[in-house]
């Protein structure tokens, strides 16, 4: 595993954008696995800036997103489809047909998940999967205790995740109770992983994930077994992990 420790959120975002840019430049038809949450926003901003400068071309890029809330329409401000349009897709020359996010409004979410697995397979798998991490070590919406061997599936969100994400909604009551998420198996099948972490409130989860035992209680800990992980974090988020390594 390669770890890049940066001074702050800004430099973390720039480093992550550099890594993703290298992927796009070296393989212009890459399949990018993308993530939402507050952590990657700075990275997307930086990619848009470099696109505007003419340094990046998304014409042949394909994307698959990690997850989506069940019950939110794609135009809902808190849906992950809306997030992706707003933070990246609407600002670069990506072909809309090449962007994939599970549809939150389908009548049968599990069938949507099965279809999503086929989409990933037809694309030939994910070249690089961007990940953030929840405070309980979740990745995508794989909550503690979820089985490691699943591909895209429907999950019940934990109370902690509902509370953490309530800041984006008018109240915790409005946070959907379920989501569709790539499973740990889907994530582990990605050729490369790029994990971003920022802020002292993530330090404990980062430490547990990368210095603790591999356990479904800390979903991100499975990444210790992935052959190609790059962890980019600011020094606040990496503080506890780096203490451990000294």
- When binding is defined by CB under 6 A, the residue of 134, 137, 219, 233 that contacts ligand GLP is 134
206 contacts ligand GLP (rule: CB under 6 A): no
Distance between first and last Cα of the chain: 16
Q: Which residue has the tokens 């599936």?
A: 153
133 contacts ligand GLP (rule: CB under 6 A): yes
Of the pair 56, 131, the CB lying nearest ligand GLP is at: 131
Annotated active-site residue 136? The verdict is: yes
Min dist CB 228 to ligand GLP, Å, is 19
Residue 160 and residue 141 in contact, taking contact as beta carbons nearer than 8 Å:
no
Min dist CB 171 to ligand GLP, Å, is 17
38 contacts ligand GLP (rule: CB under 6 A): yes
Q: Which residues of 199-214 are buried (b: 16+ CB within 10 A; e: fewer)?
A: beebbbbbbbbbebee
Min dist CB 53 to ligand GLP, Å, is 26
Q: Which residue out of 103, 112, 143, 234 is catalytically annotated?
A: 143
Residues 153-192 that bind ligand GLP (CB under 6 A): 161, 165
Of the pair 146, 165, the CB lying nearest ligand GLP is at: 165
Q: Which residue out of 138, 153, 165, 234 is catalytically annotated?
A: 138
44 contacts ligand GLP (rule: CB under 6 A): no
Stretch that binds ligand GLP, among 48-56, 98-106, 130-138, 146-154 (CB under 6 A): 130-138
Annotated active-site residue 67? The verdict is: yes
- When binding is defined by CB under 6 A, the residue of 16, 20, 32, 67 that contacts ligand GLP is 67
Stretch that binds ligand GLP, among 19-27, 44-52, 106-114, 131-139 (CB under 6 A): 131-139
141 contacts ligand GLP (rule: CB under 6 A): yes
- When binding is defined by CB under 6 A, the residue of 56, 66, 194, 206 that contacts ligand GLP is 66
Torsion of CA 177, 223, 217, 101, to 10 degrees: 10
User: Distance between CA 68 and CA 91 in Å, rounded?
Assistant: 21
φ/ψ (deg, to 5) at 39:
-60, -45
Annotated active-site residue 138? The verdict is: yes
Of the pair 26, 173, the CB lying nearest ligand GLP is at: 173
Dig out the tokens for 93 from the structure: 């020359």
Instruction: Summarize as ranges the residues that interact with ligand GLP (CB under 6 A).
Output: 35-39, 66-67, 132-134, 140-141, 161, 165
- Residues designated as active site: 67, 136, 138, 143
């Amino acid at each position: 595993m390669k770890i890049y420790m940066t001074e702050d959120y800004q430099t973390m975002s720039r480093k992550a954008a550099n890594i993703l840019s290298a992927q796009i430049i070296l393989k212009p038809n890459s399949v990018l696995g993308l993530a939402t949450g507050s952590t990657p926003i700075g990275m997307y901003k930086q990619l848009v800036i470099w696109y505007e400068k003419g340094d990046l071309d998304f014409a042949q890029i394909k994307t698959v997103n990690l997850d989506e809330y069940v019950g939110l329409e794609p135009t809902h401000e808190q849906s992950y489809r809306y997030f992706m349009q707003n933070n990246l897709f609407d600002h670069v020359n990506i072909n809309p047909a090449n962007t994939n996010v599970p549809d939150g409004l389908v009548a049968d979410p599990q069938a949507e998940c099965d279809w999503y697995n086929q989409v990933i397979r037809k694309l030939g798998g994910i070249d690089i999967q961007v990940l953030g991490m929840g405070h309980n070590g979740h990745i995508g919406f794989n909550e503690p205790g979820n089985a490691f061997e699943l591909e895209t599936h429907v999950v019940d969100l934990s109370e902690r995740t509902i509370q953490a994400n309530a800041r984006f909604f008018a109240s915790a009551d409005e946070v959907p109770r379920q989501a569709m998420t790539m499973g740990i198996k889907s994530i582990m099948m990605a050729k490369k992983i790029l994990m971003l972490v920022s802020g002292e409130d993530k330090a404990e989860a980062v430490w547990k994930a990368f210095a603790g035992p591999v356990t479904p209680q800390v979903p991100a800990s499975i990444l210790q077994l992935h052959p190609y992980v790059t962890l980019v974090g600011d020094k606040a988020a990496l503080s506890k992990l780096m203490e451990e390594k000294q």
